[in-house]
Structure 1
Amino acid sequence: MSQKLRKSSTDKALYGVCGGVAEFLGISSFVVRLIFFFTSSVSVWVYIILVWSLDEKPSL
């Protein structure tokens, strides 16, 4: 079964985008949040696009 990039339903700070990216890549969501923070000039737009385009991960 292939993994699909989705917003996290459990690891949410705002919309679950960083948590979903972290689950997809298999790394800590803290690391993803740090990357988004240090690249904020570009990542703000990427984050907004991901909030609108990613599906919510179904909760179990």
Structure 2
Amino acid sequence: MKKLRKSLDDRAIVGVCGGIAEFFGISSFVVRLIFLLTASVSLWVYLVLSWALDESYLLRQK
């Protein structure tokens, strides 16, 4: 079962958009564009997700 996590490879700030893109199998550009177009609401969502999501498994192996 897939779990939503922050991305280790595709991160611009914290890796939330990259993690969402990896989870749904879409481009991270599309996710970032959606976050920009809905900035008033998505800022709060981004902050909560950056705090709540776990890091990628690859980061834990280091």
RMSD across aligned positions (CA)? 0.9
Q: How does 1:2-13 map to 2 (within 5 A)?
A: 2-13=1-12
Gaps of 5+ in 1: none
TM-score of the superposed pair, with normalisation by structure 1: 0.95
Gaps of 5+ in 2: none
* TM superposition shift of 1:58: 1.6
1:1-26 CA-to-partner distances (Å, cap 9, x unmatched) read x1000000100100000000000010
Name the one with the larger helix percent.
2
1:12-44 CA-to-partner distances (Å, cap 9, x unmatched) read 100000000000010000000000000000000
Identity of aligned residues (%): 64
**Which ranges of 4 or more aligned residues in structure 1 deviate by more than 2 Å?**
none
Aligned length: 59
